[in-house]
C-alpha cells in the first residue's frame, strides 16, 4: 500500500517532520494504534495511550453521560502525552480541532480544566467543538475567545496582528508555512517556520 501524501516522513509520507523523525529514531513511536472511528475517543486514546473506555471517552463529547466509560472527561490519573513531554523539557501545543471538552464546559466562562491548557498543553489555538465553519470559526487562543475579524481582509492569523495577506494554507504570507494534514479524527495542523516580518 502506498502512503498518503498527508503522512509525515516518519511513517513513509511526504510531509517533512524533522522533530518527529528524531523522536522516532530515538525509540518512541506509535505503530499499532487502535482508532475508534470517532474523533473524541480516538483523540483521547492517542493523547493518553489508553483504551477510550478506560479514560471515560466511549463516545463524542456531546453524548457524555454517567455510564462507566462514557463520562466525557479524561481522569486526572491519566497523564496526557503533553504532560509527559513537558516533564522532559519539550514545549507543548495543540492546534485545530479539540473535541474532548464536555459541551457544557466550552463557554468563555469555563471551567477550563478540560480544555487543552488544563490538560498539559502550554498553548492552544483552535476550536472546542466537533466542527467549525471555515469562514466564521469560533476560535480560542489558550482560554480566550478570538474576536472575529472586522473585515474580510483581516482574516484569522496565527502570527497575530491584523492586515496581513494570507496564502493558501491560511498563514500570513510573511512566514514560510506548510499544511500538515492528519487524520480527520485528530484534525489539521499548520506548521509555520521562520521569522515574522512587519
- Cβ atoms 186, 6 nearer than 8 A: no
Which residues face 190 on adjacent strands? Answer: 179
Catalytic residue among 52, 99, 157, 171: 99
Q: How many CB atoms lie within 10 A of CB 144?
A: 10
Cis bond before residue 111 (omega within 30° of 0): yes
- Residues 126 and 98: their CA atoms lie apart, in Å, by 7
Task: Please say if 24 is a catalytic residue.
Answer: no
Catalytic residue among 39, 52, 171, 177: 39
Cell of 19: 522533530
Question: What is the rounded end-to-end Cα distance, in angstroms, of the chain?
Answer: 45
Which residues make Cβ contacts (< 8 Å) with residue 161, sequence separation at least 6?
none
Task: Please say if 39 is a catalytic residue.
Answer: yes
- Cβ atoms 64, 102 nearer than 8 A: yes
Give me the active site residues, please: 39, 99
Amino acid at each position: 500500500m502506498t502512503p498518503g501524501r498527508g503522512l509525515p516522513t516518519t511513517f513513509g509520507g511526504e510531509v517533512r517532520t524533522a522533530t518527529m523523525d528524531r523522536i522516532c529514531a530515538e525509540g518512541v513511536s506509535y505503530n499499532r494504534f487502535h482508532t475508534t472511528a470517532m474523533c473524541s475517543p480516538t483523540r483521547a486514546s492517542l493523547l493518553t495511550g489508553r483504551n477510550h473506555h478506560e479514560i471515560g471517552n466511549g463516545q463524542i463529547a456531546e453524548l457524555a453521560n454517567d455510564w462507566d466509560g462514557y463520562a466525557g472527561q479524561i481522569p486526572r490519573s491519566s497523564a496526557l502525552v503533553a504532560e509527559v513531554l513537558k516533564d522532559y523539557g519539550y514545549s507543548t501545543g495543540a492546534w485545530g480541532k479539540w473535541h474532548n471538552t464536555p459541551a457544557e464546559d466550552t463557554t468563555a466562562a469555563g471551567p477550563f480544566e478540560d480544555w487543552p491548557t488544563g490538560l498539559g498543553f502550554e498553548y492552544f489555538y483552535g476550536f472546542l467543538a466537533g466542527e467549525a465553519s471555515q469562514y466564521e470559526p469560533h476560535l480560542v487562543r489558550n482560554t480566550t475567545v478570538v474576536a472575529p475579524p472586522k473585515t474580510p481582509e483581516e482574516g484569522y492569523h496565527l502570527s497575530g496582528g491584523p492586515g496581513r495577506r494570507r496564502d493558501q494554507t491560511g498563514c500570513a504570507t510573511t512566514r514560510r508555512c506548510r499544511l500538515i494534514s492528519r487524520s480527520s479524527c485528530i484534525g489539521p495542523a499548520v506548521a509555520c517556520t521562520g521569522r515574522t516580518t512587519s
